[in-house]
Structure 1
Amino acid sequence: MRMMCHAGTVTTSGDIDGVRHGSVHGLDAIVVETPHSTAAISVFGGQVLSFTPAGAGEDVLWVSPLVKSPPTPIRGGIPVCWPYFAREGQGRDVPSHGYARTARWALIAGGRTDSGDCELEFAPEGLDHLRLELRMTVRVGATLEHGLHTHNPGAEPVSMTEAFHNYFRVSDVSSVRVSGLDGLSYLDQFDDMRSHPQHGDWMLPREDGRSDRVYPGAGGVYRIVDPGLRRAIEVSVRGGRSAVVWNPGEDGAAGMTDVGPHWRDFVCVEAANVGPDVVEVPAGADHSLWQTISVTTIE
Protein backbone atom coordinates (compact mmCIF):
# COMPACT_ATOMS: atom_id res chain seq x y z
CA MET A 1 0.00 0.00 0.00
CA ARG A 2 1.39 3.39 -0.98
CA MET A 3 0.06 6.91 -0.40
CA MET A 4 1.16 9.53 -2.90
CA CYS A 5 1.30 13.11 -1.67
CA HIS A 6 -0.20 15.96 -3.66
CA ALA A 7 3.16 17.58 -4.38
CA GLY A 8 5.31 14.45 -4.87
CA THR A 9 7.22 12.46 -2.29
CA VAL A 10 10.50 12.78 -0.43
CA THR A 11 12.29 10.56 2.03
CA THR A 12 13.38 12.86 4.84
CA SER A 13 11.80 15.78 6.68
CA GLY A 14 14.81 17.93 5.80
CA ASP A 15 13.71 17.87 2.17
CA ILE A 16 10.32 19.49 2.87
CA ASP A 17 10.04 23.23 3.36
CA GLY A 18 8.72 24.06 6.83
CA VAL A 19 9.21 20.56 8.25
CA ARG A 20 11.92 19.87 10.82
CA HIS A 21 12.82 17.68 13.76
CA GLY A 22 12.29 19.32 17.14
CA SER A 23 11.16 18.85 20.73
CA VAL A 24 7.54 19.46 21.75
CA HIS A 25 6.41 18.89 25.36
CA GLY A 26 9.87 17.35 25.85
CA LEU A 27 9.18 14.72 23.17
CA ASP A 28 11.04 14.10 19.92
CA ALA A 29 8.74 15.31 17.18
CA ILE A 30 8.31 16.31 13.56
CA VAL A 31 7.37 20.00 13.60
CA VAL A 32 5.34 21.43 10.69
CA GLU A 33 4.84 25.10 9.82
CA THR A 34 2.49 26.23 7.05
CA PRO A 35 0.94 29.61 6.16
CA HIS A 36 -2.30 28.38 7.74
CA SER A 37 -1.21 26.58 10.93
CA THR A 38 1.47 24.76 12.87
CA ALA A 39 1.51 21.16 14.07
CA ALA A 40 3.76 18.56 15.64
CA ILE A 41 3.79 14.76 15.40
CA SER A 42 5.62 12.66 18.00
CA VAL A 43 8.12 10.09 16.75
CA PHE A 44 7.07 7.92 19.69
CA GLY A 45 3.53 6.69 19.13
CA GLY A 46 2.96 8.71 15.94
CA GLN A 47 0.74 11.04 17.95
CA VAL A 48 -0.20 14.47 16.71
CA LEU A 49 0.82 16.55 19.72
CA SER A 50 -0.17 20.00 18.53
CA PHE A 51 -2.38 21.73 15.98
CA THR A 52 -2.71 25.51 16.12
CA PRO A 53 -4.43 27.36 13.24
CA ALA A 54 -3.02 30.80 12.47
CA GLY A 55 -4.57 33.39 14.79
CA ALA A 56 -6.17 30.75 17.02
CA GLY A 57 -3.96 31.42 20.03
CA GLU A 58 -4.70 28.30 22.06
CA ASP A 59 -3.64 24.91 20.75
CA VAL A 60 -6.57 22.76 19.62
CA LEU A 61 -5.04 19.72 21.34
CA TRP A 62 -4.22 19.08 24.99
CA VAL A 63 -1.10 17.32 26.24
CA SER A 64 -0.76 16.74 29.96
CA PRO A 65 1.82 18.93 31.73
CA LEU A 66 2.52 15.75 33.73
CA VAL A 67 3.28 13.71 30.60
CA LYS A 68 5.59 10.75 31.22
CA SER A 69 8.67 9.88 29.20
CA PRO A 70 8.66 6.95 26.74
CA PRO A 71 8.03 4.03 26.88
CA THR A 72 4.97 5.17 28.89
CA PRO A 73 2.18 6.07 26.43
CA ILE A 74 1.73 9.81 25.92
CA ARG A 75 -1.26 11.32 27.72
CA GLY A 76 -2.76 13.76 25.26
CA GLY A 77 -2.66 14.82 21.64
CA ILE A 78 -4.11 12.17 19.32
CA PRO A 79 -3.11 8.66 20.39
CA VAL A 80 -3.50 6.03 17.66
CA CYS A 81 -5.43 3.03 19.03
CA TRP A 82 -4.73 0.12 16.65
CA PRO A 83 -5.34 -2.75 15.80
CA TYR A 84 -7.72 -2.83 18.75
CA PHE A 85 -9.31 -0.32 21.10
CA ALA A 86 -8.89 -0.79 24.88
CA ARG A 87 -8.45 -4.59 24.95
CA GLU A 88 -11.53 -5.29 22.86
CA GLY A 89 -11.48 -8.87 21.58
CA GLN A 90 -8.10 -9.47 23.26
CA GLY A 91 -6.78 -11.15 26.37
CA ARG A 92 -5.42 -9.32 29.40
CA ASP A 93 -1.77 -9.91 28.42
CA VAL A 94 -1.68 -7.28 25.65
CA PRO A 95 -1.08 -3.52 25.93
CA SER A 96 -4.20 -1.38 26.25
CA HIS A 97 -5.22 0.37 23.01
CA GLY A 98 -2.91 -1.70 20.83
CA TYR A 99 0.67 -1.55 19.63
CA ALA A 100 0.77 1.55 17.46
CA ARG A 101 0.77 4.11 20.28
CA THR A 102 4.03 2.82 21.75
CA ALA A 103 5.82 2.09 18.47
CA ARG A 104 8.43 4.35 16.93
CA TRP A 105 7.12 5.96 13.75
CA ALA A 106 9.10 6.94 10.66
CA LEU A 107 8.34 9.75 8.23
CA ILE A 108 8.39 7.94 4.88
CA ALA A 109 7.01 10.50 2.41
CA GLY A 110 5.78 14.05 2.20
CA GLY A 111 5.16 17.08 0.08
CA ARG A 112 3.60 20.52 -0.26
CA THR A 113 0.38 21.41 -2.05
CA ASP A 114 -0.11 24.49 -4.20
CA SER A 115 -2.01 26.12 -1.32
CA GLY A 116 0.91 25.63 1.07
CA ASP A 117 -0.58 22.70 2.99
CA CYS A 118 1.85 19.99 4.04
CA GLU A 119 0.97 16.32 3.68
CA LEU A 120 3.11 13.70 5.42
CA GLU A 121 2.98 9.92 5.48
CA PHE A 122 4.18 7.89 8.45
CA ALA A 123 4.64 4.20 9.20
CA PRO A 124 5.18 2.43 12.54
CA GLU A 125 8.30 0.35 13.05
CA GLY A 126 8.58 -3.07 14.68
CA LEU A 127 5.02 -4.29 14.01
CA ASP A 128 5.90 -6.92 11.42
CA HIS A 129 4.54 -9.65 13.69
CA LEU A 130 0.97 -8.41 13.19
CA ARG A 131 -1.42 -9.68 10.51
CA LEU A 132 -2.21 -6.16 9.34
CA GLU A 133 -0.06 -3.32 7.99
CA LEU A 134 -0.50 0.34 8.91
CA ARG A 135 0.22 3.76 7.42
CA MET A 136 -0.87 7.21 8.58
CA THR A 137 -1.45 10.47 6.69
CA VAL A 138 -1.28 13.89 8.38
CA ARG A 139 -2.22 16.90 6.26
CA VAL A 140 -1.63 20.25 7.94
CA GLY A 141 -3.35 23.36 6.60
CA ALA A 142 -6.30 25.47 7.65
CA THR A 143 -7.69 22.17 8.93
CA LEU A 144 -5.98 19.04 10.20
CA GLU A 145 -6.74 16.02 8.04
CA HIS A 146 -5.75 12.72 9.59
CA GLY A 147 -5.96 9.30 7.99
CA LEU A 148 -5.26 5.82 9.35
CA HIS A 149 -4.80 3.23 6.59
CA THR A 150 -4.92 -0.52 7.26
CA HIS A 151 -3.90 -3.13 4.71
CA ASN A 152 -4.48 -6.88 5.01
CA PRO A 153 -1.72 -8.64 3.04
CA GLY A 154 -2.90 -12.12 4.04
CA ALA A 155 -5.20 -14.70 2.51
CA GLU A 156 -7.86 -14.51 5.24
CA PRO A 157 -10.06 -11.65 6.52
CA VAL A 158 -8.92 -9.98 9.75
CA SER A 159 -11.16 -8.22 12.29
CA MET A 160 -10.01 -5.08 14.07
CA THR A 161 -11.09 -2.05 16.10
CA GLU A 162 -9.43 1.37 16.08
CA ALA A 163 -9.65 4.97 17.19
CA PHE A 164 -8.16 8.42 17.00
CA HIS A 165 -8.24 9.09 20.76
CA ASN A 166 -8.48 12.90 20.42
CA TYR A 167 -7.70 15.02 23.48
CA PHE A 168 -9.15 18.48 22.82
CA ARG A 169 -8.09 21.47 24.91
CA VAL A 170 -11.06 23.24 26.53
CA SER A 171 -11.51 26.04 29.03
CA ASP A 172 -13.43 23.80 31.46
CA VAL A 173 -14.93 20.42 30.54
CA SER A 174 -17.92 21.11 32.78
CA SER A 175 -18.93 24.11 30.65
CA VAL A 176 -18.60 22.70 27.11
CA ARG A 177 -21.12 20.73 25.09
CA VAL A 178 -20.79 18.31 22.19
CA SER A 179 -23.38 18.29 19.40
CA GLY A 180 -23.96 15.60 16.80
CA LEU A 181 -24.97 12.87 19.25
CA ASP A 182 -28.61 13.74 19.97
CA GLY A 183 -30.99 10.82 19.40
CA LEU A 184 -28.27 8.17 19.49
CA SER A 185 -27.86 5.46 22.10
CA TYR A 186 -24.60 5.05 23.99
CA LEU A 187 -22.92 2.22 25.84
CA ASP A 188 -21.78 3.42 29.26
CA GLN A 189 -18.46 2.01 30.45
CA PHE A 190 -19.31 3.22 33.96
CA ASP A 191 -22.58 1.24 33.89
CA ASP A 192 -21.38 -2.18 32.69
CA MET A 193 -21.80 -1.10 29.04
CA ARG A 194 -25.56 -0.79 29.37
CA SER A 195 -27.30 1.16 26.60
CA HIS A 196 -28.85 4.57 27.30
CA PRO A 197 -30.45 7.20 25.03
CA GLN A 198 -28.69 10.51 24.39
CA HIS A 199 -31.04 13.47 24.77
CA GLY A 200 -29.68 16.72 23.36
CA ASP A 201 -26.00 17.66 23.36
CA TRP A 202 -23.47 15.79 25.46
CA MET A 203 -22.50 17.60 28.64
CA LEU A 204 -20.43 16.28 31.52
CA PRO A 205 -22.94 14.41 33.73
CA ARG A 206 -23.70 16.36 36.88
CA GLU A 207 -24.42 13.27 38.97
CA ASP A 208 -20.91 11.80 38.90
CA GLY A 209 -18.86 14.27 36.83
CA ARG A 210 -17.33 11.72 34.47
CA SER A 211 -18.00 10.19 31.07
CA ASP A 212 -16.91 7.07 29.18
CA ARG A 213 -19.51 6.60 26.45
CA VAL A 214 -19.37 4.67 23.19
CA TYR A 215 -21.90 5.76 20.54
CA PRO A 216 -22.26 2.98 17.92
CA GLY A 217 -23.47 3.92 14.47
CA ALA A 218 -22.79 7.60 15.10
CA GLY A 219 -23.25 10.24 12.42
CA GLY A 220 -19.62 11.24 11.90
CA VAL A 221 -19.80 15.01 12.54
CA TYR A 222 -19.29 16.27 16.11
CA ARG A 223 -18.92 19.85 17.36
CA ILE A 224 -17.36 20.87 20.66
CA VAL A 225 -18.72 24.26 21.68
CA ASP A 226 -16.51 26.03 24.22
CA PRO A 227 -17.84 29.42 25.44
CA GLY A 228 -14.77 29.92 27.64
CA LEU A 229 -12.34 29.88 24.71
CA ARG A 230 -14.99 31.35 22.37
CA ARG A 231 -14.47 28.65 19.79
CA ALA A 232 -16.02 25.52 18.34
CA ILE A 233 -14.00 22.50 17.27
CA GLU A 234 -15.59 20.34 14.58
CA VAL A 235 -14.59 16.74 13.96
CA SER A 236 -15.77 15.31 10.64
CA VAL A 237 -15.22 11.56 10.23
CA ARG A 238 -15.14 9.20 7.25
CA GLY A 239 -14.79 5.45 7.63
CA GLY A 240 -15.57 5.59 11.34
CA ARG A 241 -18.93 4.36 12.61
CA SER A 242 -18.41 5.01 16.35
CA ALA A 243 -17.87 8.04 18.54
CA VAL A 244 -16.38 7.92 22.04
CA VAL A 245 -16.67 10.76 24.58
CA TRP A 246 -14.43 10.46 27.62
CA ASN A 247 -13.30 12.42 30.64
CA PRO A 248 -12.34 10.65 33.89
CA GLY A 249 -13.75 13.32 36.19
CA GLU A 250 -12.10 14.54 39.36
CA ASP A 251 -12.16 11.24 41.26
CA GLY A 252 -10.90 9.17 38.33
CA ALA A 253 -8.17 11.68 37.47
CA ALA A 254 -6.92 11.67 41.05
CA GLY A 255 -5.69 8.11 40.47
CA MET A 256 -4.00 8.99 37.17
CA THR A 257 -0.52 10.40 37.76
CA ASP A 258 -0.40 12.01 34.31
CA VAL A 259 -3.78 13.78 34.68
CA GLY A 260 -4.40 14.63 38.35
CA PRO A 261 -5.79 18.17 38.82
CA HIS A 262 -5.75 18.88 35.07
CA TRP A 263 -8.86 16.86 34.23
CA ARG A 264 -10.93 19.98 33.56
CA ASP A 265 -8.64 21.05 30.72
CA PHE A 266 -9.69 18.49 28.10
CA VAL A 267 -12.45 16.39 26.62
CA CYS A 268 -11.87 13.35 24.42
CA VAL A 269 -14.18 13.13 21.41
CA GLU A 270 -12.89 10.18 19.44
CA ALA A 271 -13.27 9.03 15.84
CA ALA A 272 -13.51 5.26 16.02
CA ASN A 273 -14.69 1.82 15.05
CA VAL A 274 -15.22 0.18 18.44
CA GLY A 275 -17.78 -1.78 20.45
CA PRO A 276 -20.16 -3.47 18.02
CA ASP A 277 -18.66 -1.50 15.10
CA VAL A 278 -15.93 -4.04 14.40
CA VAL A 279 -14.18 -3.70 11.03
CA GLU A 280 -13.45 -6.81 8.98
CA VAL A 281 -10.69 -6.19 6.45
CA PRO A 282 -10.94 -8.73 3.60
CA ALA A 283 -7.87 -10.54 2.30
CA GLY A 284 -5.77 -8.21 0.18
CA ALA A 285 -8.01 -5.24 0.94
CA ASP A 286 -7.61 -1.81 2.58
CA HIS A 287 -9.59 0.16 5.14
CA SER A 288 -9.17 3.84 6.02
CA LEU A 289 -10.36 5.92 8.96
CA TRP A 290 -10.28 9.67 8.28
CA GLN A 291 -10.97 12.70 10.43
CA THR A 292 -10.86 16.41 9.64
CA ILE A 293 -10.48 18.82 12.56
CA SER A 294 -11.45 22.46 12.07
CA VAL A 295 -11.94 25.46 14.36
CA THR A 296 -14.32 28.42 14.21
CA THR A 297 -14.78 31.42 16.47
CA ILE A 298 -18.04 31.84 18.37
CA GLU A 299 -19.46 34.88 20.16
Structure 2
Amino acid sequence: MNSNFEYYKVFYYVSKYENLTKAASALKTSQPAVTRTIQNLENELGCRLFTRSKTGMKLTPEGKIFYEYIAAGCAQFFRGENNLSNMITLENGTIYISATETALHCYLFQAMEEFNIRYPNVHFKILNNSTKNSIMALKEGKVDLAVVSASCNISSPLKMRRVLGYQDILIGGTKYQKLKGKRISLEKLSEYPWISLTSESITRNFLNEYFEEHGLQFSPHVELSTTDMILPVVRHNLGIGFIPAELVKADLLAGTVFEIKVEETMPERDIILIYDTEYPQSIASKEFQKFLAER
Protein backbone atom coordinates (compact mmCIF):
# COMPACT_ATOMS: atom_id res chain seq x y z
CA MET A 1 0.00 0.00 0.00
CA ASN A 2 1.38 3.40 -1.02
CA SER A 3 -0.67 5.61 1.29
CA ASN A 4 1.28 8.40 2.96
CA PHE A 5 0.65 10.76 5.85
CA GLU A 6 -0.95 13.39 3.60
CA TYR A 7 -3.66 10.87 2.67
CA TYR A 8 -4.28 10.17 6.35
CA LYS A 9 -4.32 13.87 7.14
CA VAL A 10 -7.00 14.47 4.50
CA PHE A 11 -9.00 11.52 5.85
CA TYR A 12 -8.70 12.92 9.38
CA TYR A 13 -10.09 16.35 8.47
CA VAL A 14 -12.92 14.99 6.33
CA SER A 15 -13.88 12.71 9.25
CA LYS A 16 -13.63 15.57 11.73
CA TYR A 17 -15.76 18.07 9.79
CA GLU A 18 -17.94 15.58 7.86
CA ASN A 19 -17.74 18.06 5.02
CA LEU A 20 -15.43 18.20 2.00
CA THR A 21 -15.47 22.00 1.71
CA LYS A 22 -14.59 22.56 5.37
CA ALA A 23 -11.85 19.93 5.20
CA ALA A 24 -10.40 21.58 2.09
CA SER A 25 -10.42 24.96 3.86
CA ALA A 26 -8.59 23.53 6.89
CA LEU A 27 -6.03 21.87 4.62
CA LYS A 28 -5.72 24.98 2.41
CA THR A 29 -6.44 23.00 -0.74
CA SER A 30 -9.35 22.50 -3.15
CA GLN A 31 -12.42 20.33 -2.68
CA PRO A 32 -11.70 18.28 -5.82
CA ALA A 33 -8.21 17.53 -4.48
CA VAL A 34 -9.70 16.32 -1.21
CA THR A 35 -12.24 14.18 -3.08
CA ARG A 36 -9.50 12.59 -5.21
CA THR A 37 -7.39 11.83 -2.16
CA ILE A 38 -10.29 10.09 -0.39
CA GLN A 39 -11.07 8.08 -3.53
CA ASN A 40 -7.41 7.06 -3.85
CA LEU A 41 -7.25 6.06 -0.19
CA GLU A 42 -10.45 4.01 -0.47
CA ASN A 43 -9.08 2.27 -3.57
CA GLU A 44 -5.82 1.44 -1.83
CA LEU A 45 -7.54 0.17 1.30
CA GLY A 46 -10.11 -1.74 -0.70
CA CYS A 47 -13.16 -0.47 1.17
CA ARG A 48 -15.46 2.52 1.44
CA LEU A 49 -14.60 4.91 4.25
CA PHE A 50 -17.51 7.33 3.82
CA THR A 51 -21.10 7.44 2.71
CA ARG A 52 -21.87 10.63 0.81
CA SER A 53 -25.17 12.49 1.05
CA LYS A 54 -26.62 16.00 0.87
CA THR A 55 -25.95 16.42 4.59
CA GLY A 56 -22.24 15.61 4.34
CA MET A 57 -19.72 12.81 4.67
CA LYS A 58 -20.46 10.07 7.21
CA LEU A 59 -17.99 7.39 8.23
CA THR A 60 -18.83 3.81 7.35
CA PRO A 61 -18.28 1.15 10.06
CA GLU A 62 -14.88 0.46 8.47
CA GLY A 63 -14.16 4.19 8.37
CA LYS A 64 -14.96 4.57 12.07
CA ILE A 65 -12.47 1.84 13.01
CA PHE A 66 -9.82 3.37 10.75
CA TYR A 67 -10.45 6.85 12.20
CA GLU A 68 -9.67 5.67 15.75
CA TYR A 69 -6.12 4.83 14.68
CA ILE A 70 -5.62 7.77 12.34
CA ALA A 71 -6.90 10.32 14.91
CA ALA A 72 -4.45 9.02 17.51
CA GLY A 73 -1.58 9.14 15.02
CA CYS A 74 -2.43 12.62 13.76
CA ALA A 75 -2.63 13.91 17.31
CA GLN A 76 0.98 12.81 17.86
CA PHE A 77 2.16 14.33 14.59
CA PHE A 78 0.38 17.61 15.31
CA ARG A 79 1.82 17.71 18.79
CA GLY A 80 5.33 17.18 17.45
CA GLU A 81 4.90 19.89 14.81
CA ASN A 82 3.60 22.33 17.39
CA ASN A 83 6.43 21.68 19.84
CA LEU A 84 8.94 22.46 17.10
CA SER A 85 7.26 25.32 15.27
CA ASN A 86 5.83 27.15 18.26
CA MET A 87 9.03 27.54 20.27
CA ILE A 88 8.73 31.32 20.01
CA THR A 89 4.97 31.76 19.84
CA LEU A 90 4.80 33.52 23.18
CA GLU A 91 6.80 36.21 21.44
CA ASN A 92 4.47 36.61 18.47
CA GLY A 93 1.59 34.13 18.79
CA THR A 94 -2.08 34.68 18.05
CA ILE A 95 -4.99 33.16 19.96
CA TYR A 96 -8.32 32.83 18.19
CA ILE A 97 -11.42 32.91 20.40
CA SER A 98 -15.16 32.97 19.80
CA ALA A 99 -17.07 34.39 22.77
CA THR A 100 -20.48 35.65 23.79
CA GLU A 101 -20.94 39.28 24.84
CA THR A 102 -21.57 38.26 28.45
CA ALA A 103 -18.43 36.12 28.54
CA LEU A 104 -16.41 38.99 27.09
CA HIS A 105 -17.64 41.64 29.53
CA CYS A 106 -17.88 39.48 32.64
CA TYR A 107 -14.65 37.55 32.23
CA LEU A 108 -12.63 37.51 29.04
CA PHE A 109 -11.66 41.17 28.59
CA GLN A 110 -10.11 41.27 32.06
CA ALA A 111 -8.37 37.94 31.56
CA MET A 112 -6.92 39.07 28.22
CA GLU A 113 -5.63 42.30 29.76
CA GLU A 114 -3.90 40.41 32.57
CA PHE A 115 -2.43 37.86 30.14
CA ASN A 116 -1.05 40.60 27.89
CA ILE A 117 0.77 42.15 30.86
CA ARG A 118 2.64 38.87 31.15
CA TYR A 119 2.95 38.22 27.39
CA PRO A 120 2.65 41.62 25.63
CA ASN A 121 3.42 40.26 22.14
CA VAL A 122 0.67 37.67 22.05
CA HIS A 123 -2.31 38.84 20.01
CA PHE A 124 -5.99 37.96 20.30
CA LYS A 125 -8.47 37.63 17.47
CA ILE A 126 -12.00 37.62 18.83
CA LEU A 127 -15.26 36.59 17.18
CA ASN A 128 -18.33 37.87 19.02
CA ASN A 129 -20.91 35.09 18.61
CA SER A 130 -23.80 33.41 20.36
CA THR A 131 -23.11 30.27 22.39
CA LYS A 132 -24.30 28.03 19.55
CA ASN A 133 -22.27 29.86 16.91
CA SER A 134 -19.19 29.93 19.13
CA ILE A 135 -19.34 26.15 19.49
CA MET A 136 -19.83 25.82 15.74
CA ALA A 137 -16.79 28.01 15.06
CA LEU A 138 -14.76 25.76 17.36
CA LYS A 139 -16.00 22.58 15.65
CA GLU A 140 -15.13 24.05 12.24
CA GLY A 141 -11.59 24.87 13.35
CA LYS A 142 -12.04 28.63 12.98
CA VAL A 143 -10.96 29.32 16.58
CA ASP A 144 -8.78 27.77 19.26
CA LEU A 145 -11.25 28.29 22.10
CA ALA A 146 -14.88 29.15 22.75
CA VAL A 147 -15.85 31.09 25.87
CA VAL A 148 -19.61 31.12 26.37
CA SER A 149 -22.11 32.26 28.97
CA ALA A 150 -24.41 29.28 29.15
CA SER A 151 -24.08 25.60 29.93
CA CYS A 152 -24.59 23.46 26.86
CA ASN A 153 -24.47 19.88 25.65
CA ILE A 154 -21.26 18.97 23.84
CA SER A 155 -19.69 15.70 22.83
CA SER A 156 -16.18 14.37 22.30
CA PRO A 157 -13.71 15.59 21.13
CA LEU A 158 -14.96 18.85 22.69
CA LYS A 159 -14.49 19.39 26.39
CA MET A 160 -15.66 22.21 28.64
CA ARG A 161 -14.62 23.73 31.95
CA ARG A 162 -16.42 26.22 34.16
CA VAL A 163 -14.25 29.29 34.72
CA LEU A 164 -16.60 31.70 36.49
CA GLY A 165 -20.07 32.03 37.97
CA TYR A 166 -22.09 35.17 37.37
CA GLN A 167 -25.46 36.56 38.38
CA ASP A 168 -28.20 38.22 36.34
CA ILE A 169 -30.05 41.09 38.00
CA LEU A 170 -33.34 42.70 37.08
CA ILE A 171 -33.12 46.37 36.14
CA GLY A 172 -35.57 49.18 35.40
CA GLY A 173 -35.39 52.79 34.27
CA THR A 174 -36.77 56.02 35.71
CA LYS A 175 -40.32 55.22 34.62
CA TYR A 176 -40.43 52.34 37.11
CA GLN A 177 -39.02 54.15 40.16
CA LYS A 178 -41.95 52.93 42.29
CA LEU A 179 -40.36 49.46 42.17
CA LYS A 180 -37.11 50.70 43.69
CA GLY A 181 -36.21 49.53 47.18
CA LYS A 182 -38.89 46.87 47.33
CA ARG A 183 -38.70 43.09 47.09
CA ILE A 184 -41.35 42.08 44.57
CA SER A 185 -42.68 38.70 43.50
CA LEU A 186 -42.09 37.45 39.99
CA GLU A 187 -45.84 37.08 39.57
CA LYS A 188 -46.36 40.79 40.26
CA LEU A 189 -43.47 41.75 38.00
CA SER A 190 -44.85 39.65 35.17
CA GLU A 191 -47.53 42.32 34.73
CA TYR A 192 -44.89 44.81 33.54
CA PRO A 193 -43.46 45.05 30.01
CA TRP A 194 -40.37 42.86 29.72
CA ILE A 195 -37.27 43.05 27.57
CA SER A 196 -35.37 39.91 26.61
CA LEU A 197 -33.46 38.13 23.87
CA THR A 198 -35.22 36.31 21.04
CA SER A 199 -36.68 32.84 21.49
CA GLU A 200 -33.75 31.20 19.67
CA SER A 201 -31.23 32.21 22.34
CA ILE A 202 -30.05 30.02 25.21
CA THR A 203 -30.55 32.95 27.61
CA ARG A 204 -34.21 33.17 26.59
CA ASN A 205 -34.64 29.44 27.25
CA PHE A 206 -33.07 29.97 30.67
CA LEU A 207 -35.60 32.70 31.49
CA ASN A 208 -38.48 30.65 30.13
CA GLU A 209 -37.52 27.84 32.52
CA TYR A 210 -37.10 30.27 35.43
CA PHE A 211 -40.62 31.60 34.95
CA GLU A 212 -42.09 28.13 34.39
CA GLU A 213 -40.58 26.91 37.66
CA HIS A 214 -42.73 29.53 39.39
CA GLY A 215 -45.87 28.74 37.43
CA LEU A 216 -45.60 31.69 35.07
CA GLN A 217 -45.23 32.22 31.34
CA PHE A 218 -42.54 34.56 30.09
CA SER A 219 -43.79 36.81 27.27
CA PRO A 220 -41.46 39.78 26.64
CA HIS A 221 -42.79 42.90 24.95
CA VAL A 222 -39.44 43.71 23.32
CA GLU A 223 -37.16 41.02 21.87
CA LEU A 224 -33.53 41.73 21.04
CA SER A 225 -30.83 39.81 19.23
CA THR A 226 -27.91 40.79 21.49
CA THR A 227 -27.41 41.22 25.23
CA ASP A 228 -25.73 44.61 24.90
CA MET A 229 -29.01 46.09 23.58
CA ILE A 230 -30.93 45.32 26.80
CA LEU A 231 -29.39 48.16 28.81
CA PRO A 232 -30.15 51.04 26.37
CA VAL A 233 -33.71 49.76 25.89
CA VAL A 234 -34.20 49.75 29.67
CA ARG A 235 -32.71 53.25 29.85
CA HIS A 236 -35.40 54.39 27.42
CA ASN A 237 -38.10 52.98 29.73
CA LEU A 238 -39.46 50.44 27.27
CA GLY A 239 -39.58 47.77 29.96
CA ILE A 240 -37.64 45.86 32.61
CA GLY A 241 -35.17 43.07 31.97
CA PHE A 242 -32.55 40.74 33.37
CA ILE A 243 -28.92 41.47 32.53
CA PRO A 244 -25.57 40.25 33.91
CA ALA A 245 -24.61 42.47 36.85
CA GLU A 246 -21.15 43.14 35.41
CA LEU A 247 -22.63 44.83 32.33
CA VAL A 248 -24.61 47.42 34.28
CA LYS A 249 -22.24 48.56 37.06
CA ALA A 250 -21.60 52.03 35.64
CA ASP A 251 -25.28 52.75 35.03
CA LEU A 252 -26.23 51.62 38.52
CA LEU A 253 -23.67 54.03 39.97
CA ALA A 254 -24.84 56.84 37.67
CA GLY A 255 -28.47 56.20 38.58
CA THR A 256 -29.69 55.88 34.99
CA VAL A 257 -31.12 52.47 35.93
CA PHE A 258 -31.67 50.67 39.21
CA GLU A 259 -31.86 47.08 40.43
CA ILE A 260 -35.29 45.60 41.08
CA LYS A 261 -35.20 43.07 43.91
CA VAL A 262 -37.02 39.85 43.03
CA GLU A 263 -38.39 37.55 45.72
CA GLU A 264 -37.63 34.39 43.77
CA THR A 265 -33.91 33.62 43.63
CA MET A 266 -32.37 33.80 40.18
CA PRO A 267 -30.02 30.80 39.69
CA GLU A 268 -26.34 31.56 39.17
CA ARG A 269 -25.09 31.09 35.65
CA ASP A 270 -21.70 29.97 34.34
CA ILE A 271 -18.97 31.21 32.04
CA ILE A 272 -17.72 28.09 30.22
CA LEU A 273 -14.43 27.50 28.40
CA ILE A 274 -14.71 24.95 25.57
CA TYR A 275 -11.85 23.45 23.59
CA ASP A 276 -11.27 20.67 21.07
CA THR A 277 -9.03 17.89 22.40
CA GLU A 278 -8.11 16.83 18.86
CA TYR A 279 -7.37 20.31 17.54
CA PRO A 280 -3.64 21.16 17.53
CA GLN A 281 -3.24 24.08 19.96
CA SER A 282 -0.44 26.62 19.67
CA ILE A 283 1.79 27.15 22.68
CA ALA A 284 0.19 30.59 23.15
CA SER A 285 -3.28 29.04 23.30
CA LYS A 286 -2.10 26.36 25.73
CA GLU A 287 -0.46 28.97 27.93
CA PHE A 288 -3.63 31.06 27.93
CA GLN A 289 -5.70 28.05 28.98
CA LYS A 290 -3.22 27.35 31.77
CA PHE A 291 -3.40 31.01 32.80
CA LEU A 292 -7.21 30.88 32.95
CA ALA A 293 -7.10 27.75 35.08
CA GLU A 294 -4.82 29.46 37.60
CA ARG A 295 -6.83 32.72 37.92
User: Is TM-score (shorter-chain normalized) higher than 0.5?
Assistant: no
Structure ranking higher in strand proportion = 1
Shorter-chain TM band: under 0.3
Rg larger in 1 or in 2? 2
| Larger proportion of helix | 2
- The normalised TM-score by structure 1 is 0.23
Of structures 1 and 2, the one scoring higher in RCO (CA 8 A, sep 6+) is: 2
Provide the TM-score with structure 2 as the length reference: 0.23
